[in-house]
Chain A
Amino acid sequence: MVFARNQWYVAAYSQEVGDGLLARTVCGEPLVLYRTRAGEAVALTDRCVHRRFPLSESNRDGDDIVCGYHGFTYAPDGVCVAVPGQTRVPRTARVPAFQIVEQDSLVWVWIGEGEGDAKAIPRAPWLDSPGYVTVRGMEHLDARYELLVDNLLDLSHETYLHAGYIGTPEVAQTPITTEVDEDAGVIYVSRRMKDVECPSFYRESTGIEGRIDRWQDIEYHPPCLYLLHSRIAPTGIEPGPDGDDPRACHAEIVYAITPETETTTHDFWMVARDFALDDEGVSEFLAESNRTVVLQDVEALNTLEKVIATEPEGYQELSINIDTGGLAARRILQRQTAR
């Protein structure tokens, strides 16, 4: 098994789930998502039990879905309530309905065994906090999710792959501290740059002139949620002893890494900021710039997937010091996959 199935995954942004029927595959499980008239998000297997027709290409009748092929009709709990031309509905006529939790503007789904523990879902409260403005997008990766995890756990690649955007020479030159909370299964990678060049991504969005202190504190909750707490401040400005930090700008860079298949991934990306809240121009700039950066990663990772597909069995990678966090992530993902 290549997926950690007994884990929570982001299936969609809340804003994507509405009256329409949204098709999305999570860990090889084809889902159809929609929202009932009462506002509840629903996720069902996206296959009619009769002849496999995708329910996402079917029609709604109130809160039910009517299969677009022969009319099998499913309630939000997945039970078939009507079949064509006969009154008796076969007892086994139902599609799996999956547990959903909506929080922080994200639609989380549990495709694992039994009932998932909603309290185990990691939080990203900035995404729907009134103190922050968030821009977001989602790109499709023709690459396995592990490649995106590797990419995000080692930000020294910014210097090379994202030069001129978020990468500056100092990113690859600054000491990093990696921590793993074994009990919680969380990985932290911290890089705190002092008196460094401000990349255009932050110079143009924050308006901070001159040299900066730049913190990159990664918090990865395998398998799905990746948080990058980014702090930008004029150099020498430190947070107060109580954590008060009004002279700094904070960007919470959030990724939801959701495997689609063994070799494709949904790459949800978000940038929540606590500065220039009313400036639509900053929102547009950050959305465009971050999407550009994400697409640089997408191109690189799609290339890597092709390389992997053509290499002989048993190829041995080489890991060095920059991979300390990525190796920790791999180990925890392997542990989760084995459960």
Chain B
Amino acid sequence: MSPAGPVIPARPVSGGRLRVEWSPGSDRLTGICHCGARRTAEDPAEIWTWLLAHPGHGTP
């Protein structure tokens, strides 16, 4: 069965929020910091660690 539809972001990333987007069927998570930095990873623990490292995100 195919995924039900496109991602419809509920809210823009606003003051202080960290966001992780994911589409079932994809193994990749996309982390988006409130500073605008982005990174993809395959593990939710890894993506939270990277987001919480703000401002020291390092090289994407």
Binding site for B on A (CB under 8 A): 156, 169-170, 172-184, 188, 190, 192-196, 217, 319-321, 323-324, 327-328, 331
Number of A-B contacts (CB under 8 A): 96
Complex: how many Å from CA A321 to CA B27?
A: 8
**Contact indicator B8/A194 (Cβ below 8 Å):** yes
**Contact indicator A181/B17 (Cβ below 8 Å):** yes
Question: Which of B18, B23, B47 contacts A182 (CB under 8 A)?
Answer: B18
Complex: how many Å from CA A55 to CA B7?
A: 54
**Contact indicator B18/A172 (Cβ below 8 Å):** no
Known: A188-B10, A321-B29. A181 touches B16 (CB 8 A): yes
**26 residue pairs from A and B, CB less than 8 Å apart:** A172-B24, A173-B1, A173-B4, A174-B3, A174-B4, A175-B5, A175-B7, A175-B21, A175-B22, A177-B7, A177-B9, A177-B22, A178-B21, A179-B10, A179-B17, A179-B20, A182-B52, A194-B8, A195-B5, A196-B5, A319-B44, A321-B22, A321-B29, A323-B44, A324-B22, A324-B47
Between B10, B13, B18, B19, the greatest number of chain A beta carbons within 10 A of the residue's beta carbon is seen for B10
Task: Tell me if B56 is interfacial: C-beta within 8 Å of chain A.
Answer: no
The majority secondary structure among interface residues of chain A is mixed
Complex: how many Å from CA A105 to CA B20?
A: 34
Residues of A within 8 A of B2 (CB): 173
The interface size bin for chain B is 20 to 34
Q: What is the minimal beta-carbon distance from A237 to any residue of chain B, in angstroms?
A: 14
Complex: how many Å from CA A169 to CA B48?
A: 28
Complex: how many Å from CA A170 to CA B20?
A: 20
The majority secondary structure among interface residues of chain B is loop
Excluding A172-B24, A192-B5, 6 further A-B contacts by CB distance (< 8 Å) are A173-B25, A190-B11, A195-B5, A217-B10, A319-B43, A319-B45
Q: What is the minimal beta-carbon distance from A278 to any residue of chain B, in angstroms?
A: 31
**Contact indicator A177/B48 (Cβ below 8 Å):** no
Residues of A within 8 A of B10 (CB): 177, 179, 188, 190, 192, 217
Task: Tell me if B60 is interfacial: C-beta within 8 Å of chain A.
Answer: no
Complex: how many Å from CA A172 to CA B4?
A: 9
Q: What is the minimal beta-carbon distance from A184 to any residue of chain B, in angstroms?
A: 8
Complex: how many Å from CA A217 to CA B11?
A: 10
Q: What is the minimal beta-carbon distance from B50 to any residue of chain A, in angstroms?
A: 13
Task: Tell me if B6 is interfacial: C-beta within 8 Å of chain A.
Answer: yes
Question: Which of A172, A176, A182, A193 contacts B22 (CB under 8 A)?
Answer: A176
Residues of A within 8 A of B17 (CB): 179-182, 188
Give B13-57 interface residues, CB cut-off 8 Å to A: 13, 15-25, 27, 29, 43-45, 47-48, 52
Between A183, A184, A323, A328, the greatest number of chain B beta carbons within 10 A of the residue's beta carbon is seen for A328
Which 8 A-B pairs rank lowest in CB-CB distance, beginning with the nearest? Answer: A190-B10, A194-B5, A170-B4, A175-B7, A175-B23, A324-B44, A192-B8, A174-B4
Residues of B within 8 A of A183 (CB): 15-16
Instruction: Name the residue on A nearest B54 (C-beta).
Output: A182
Complex: how many Å from CA A178 to CA B2?
A: 21
Question: Which of A176, A182, A321, A331 contacts B16 (CB under 8 A)?
Answer: A182
Residues of B within 8 A of A331 (CB): 48
Known: A179-B17, A183-B16, A324-B47. A173 touches B7 (CB 8 A): no
**Contact indicator B19/A178 (Cβ below 8 Å):** yes
Q: What is the minimal beta-carbon distance from A47 to any residue of chain B, in angstroms?
A: 42
**Contact indicator B11/A179 (Cβ below 8 Å):** yes
Q: What is the minimal beta-carbon distance from B31 to any residue of chain A, in angstroms?
A: 9
Residues of A within 8 A of B23 (CB): 175
Q: What is the minimal beta-carbon distance from A297 to any residue of chain B, in angstroms?
A: 22
